[in-house]
Structure 1
Amino acid sequence: MVSRTELLVSESAMTVFSVHHKTTYRYKRPIRPGLHQLLFRPRDSFDQRLLDCHLKVVPEPAEVRWIHDVFGNCLTLVDFGLKCELLEFETFIRLEHTPENAPDFRIEDYARSHPFSYSEDESPDLAAYIRRHHPQDIGVEEWLEKFLRKDTGRPTGQLLMTLNEAIAEGFSYKRRISSGTQLPGETLRNQQGTCRDFALLMMEAARALGFAARFVTGYVYVPTRDGPIRLGGGSTHAWCQIYVPGSGWVEFDPTNGIVGNRDLIRIGVARTPGQAIPLSGSYWGDAEDELGMEVEVNVKTDGDSTAWAAVAG
């Protein structure tokens, strides 16, 4: 007898994705690189299974080691012993990816209508994700009032999808070379931002409504040859997860209006955007020694000949 679970898996179209990511730093004169941290290796899960993973670093590192951070993400720590004028990190991952049947996610009876309270068993572990991280941004509440009526119950799934769509349809995506994430209030004032900005805005809006939310960093597949254009391609991508009783952590990509994991390759999760930076590090030298950074990201499916996309900084 074939179980219902087996039927659901067989009906889902599994895809094999490969991601080639190269980051290059150039300097006027030799500098000494300090410790660098990479977040590029995805964790195996029921919806994605890692098949292959490689890292190439120039110059040759003095030490490479792997650890798990407080969220269970796999971090790569790279240290150097030589000076250099060029610093390059090249990563490759290949994985099986199974899209979920979203937005048809299940919700426990007690949480079908908002507002609701998480169960006593889950509340202590979700508390840090429910707490507002930018409570001074009162603009978030004002924005929510535009399409949510106070003291009125609403289906939980519909509410979350409304938030996701409101950002996807009401804000303009604009790539920003500088690092960091805009405060939610700044994104609301500008009516534009990057994928990281939109993810943080949705997280803070969801937290203002009592939901647990966390930040996700990864990649988005851009199926330009056979489907709608996805924003955020050509570099790393960011979105968020909301904890829904009965379905667990559900993916919401407010940049593209995606609900569920379709076309999204999850690398790491964190409580704040600053805890999920794909590559960070330092060097000994003068600030004016830095000539710039180049990022090349290629996300493709098996048999796809998608070209490299370059971002110069």
Structure 2
Amino acid sequence: MTLEVEHQLSYSYADYVGLNPHYFFLSPKPTPYQYLINHDLSILPKPDLLNKNIDQEGNIQHVCFINQRLKTFEVNSKFSIKTEDFKGLNFVFFPFECAKIPFKYPQRMAKYVEFILNNKSISEDVKDFALAVAEKANYGTLDFLMELTTQIHKKFRYISRERGDAVLAEETLKSQSGSCRDFSVFMMDVCASVGILARFVSGYLYGSELHQHDLHAWVEVLLPGGGWRGFDPTEGRVVDKNYVALAASIESIGLSPVRGTFRSIGHVDSVLNAQVIIKETK
């Protein structure tokens, strides 16, 4: 199928402000199952400089510089993308031992993964939660991931929170509630507790009454033999053709598709209005 996605963002400020460089992650990441047909990014006022880069994690990034002072700032991203059917769990673990927990990456991956995992600080409560999930899943890797995805979906209460970074995993566990960003970061830490590397993904979900008109977040897990495979703890499902990823990051705070700050004399309030429109065109 072909999806047409339009993402409108409008920032209003109570007084004139100057914008520091803004970073946009609004161009979809290429995958073997999705093909970008076209993409238009419009910004008002017109940027003095707009660079298109690849960031340190392979995401397509636009860096925007606007020199004038302003009270409004508008961004409109519109693209069409062709997305094919695929089965997220259709792969074979190799080495075969990776199909079980305790999980250990093969040597060629281990140095990269262990450097990241060894620098994560995970609470004992999160580790205990991870071990309980692993035990219930009989220490099967895929069963663990599906059990974890299902438990967060069924037992944790979803809260809509449009702005701000994700909260710490232990806070989400304690409250048993959170946004899709919070659930994703929580799942990342639970996976790390058993030696599995996961990353935060920000993008869009077509066909969901809850998330179709806003940004969504989920998790991709690095599995030997399968590469990065997506799981959505908020929806309780494996990622499929209805998901469109904008950017991914191993950072525990998650990744917002728009990052930037402003300068002002004194405190200035700001308001963000955002809308996502997704349509199937074929």
Tell me if TM exceeds 0.5: yes
| Aligned counterpart, 1:215 | 200
Work out whether residues 101 and 134 of structure 2, in 8 Å CA contact, stay in contact via their aligned partners in 1: no
Does the 8 A contact of 1:131 with 1:207 survive in 2? Answer: no
Aligned to 2:247: 268
Taking structure 1 as reference, are residues 89 and 248 closer, same or farther at Cα in structure 2, changes over 3 Å only? same
* Conservation of the 8 A alpha-carbon contact between 1:103 and 1:260: no
Given that 1:20 and 1:299 are in contact with CA atoms closer than 8 Å, whether structure 2 keeps it comes out as: yes
Confirm or deny that 1:127 pairs with 2:114: yes
State the Cα RMSD in Å.
2.0
Deviation readout 1:199-222 (Å, 9 max, x if unpaired): 11111001101111111111111x
Residue 274 of structure 2 corresponds to which residue in structure 1?
295
2:69 equivalent to 1:90:
no
Matched residues, number: 281
Q: Distance in 2 between matches of 1:82 and 1:246?
A: 50
Deviations 1:162-187 (A, max 9, x none): 11111111111111134111111111
- Per-residue CA deviations over 1:190-245 (Å, capped at 9, x if unaligned) read 11101111111111001101111111111111x2xxxxx45433221111111111
- Partners in 1 of 2:8 and 2:50 — Cα distance? 17
Flag the 1:100–1:130 CA change in 2: closer, same or farther, 3 A. Answer: farther
Which residue identity lines up with residue 181 of structure 1 in the other structure? A
Residue pair 2:100, 2:139 contacting (<8 A) in 1 also: yes
Deviation per residue, 1:142-166 (Å, 9 max, x gap): 323444339x952221111111111
Larger mean Cα displacement after TM superposition, 183-192 or 279-288: 279-288
Aligned partner letter, 2:242: D
The answer to whether residue 101 in structure 2 is matched with residue 114 in structure 1 is: yes
Q: 1:184 aligns with which of 159, 163, 169?
A: 169
Asked whether the 8 Å contact 2:196–2:221 carries over to 1, the reply is yes
Amino acid at match of 2:103: F
Q: In structure 2, what is the equivalent of residue 175 of structure 1?
A: 160
| Distance (Å, rounded) in 2 between the aligned partners of 1:182 and 1:65 | 31
Distance verdict in 2 for CA 1:300–1:30, change over 3 Å: same
The alpha-carbon deviation at position 114 of structure 1 amounts to: 1.9
TM-aligned CA distance change 1:153 to 1:27, over 3 Å: closer
* CA distance in 2: counterparts of 1:128 and 1:299, whole angstroms: 38
**Aligned partners of 1:287, 1:183: CA distance in 2, in Å?**
30
Q: Under a length normalisation based on structure 2, what TM-score does the superposition of the two structures give?
A: 0.92
Matched position secondary structure for 1:121:
helix
Q: How does 1:1-313 map to 2 (within 5 A)?
A: 15-108=1-94, 109-131=96-118, 133-135=120-122, 137-149=123-135, 154-221=139-206, 223=207, 229-274=208-253, 276-286=255-265, 288-302=267-281
Q: Distance in 2 between matches of 1:106 and 1:176?
A: 37
Q: What are the superposed Cα offsets for residues 76-109 of structure 1, whole Å, 9 maximum, x if unpaired?
A: 0111122211111111121111232133442222
CA contact (8 A) 2:130 2:194 kept: no
CA contact (8 A) 1:129 1:214 kept: no
Provide structure 1 residue ranges, at least 5 long, that are not aligned to the other structure.
1-14, 224-228, 304-313
Identity, % of aligned pairs? 24
AA partner of residue 66 (structure 2):
F
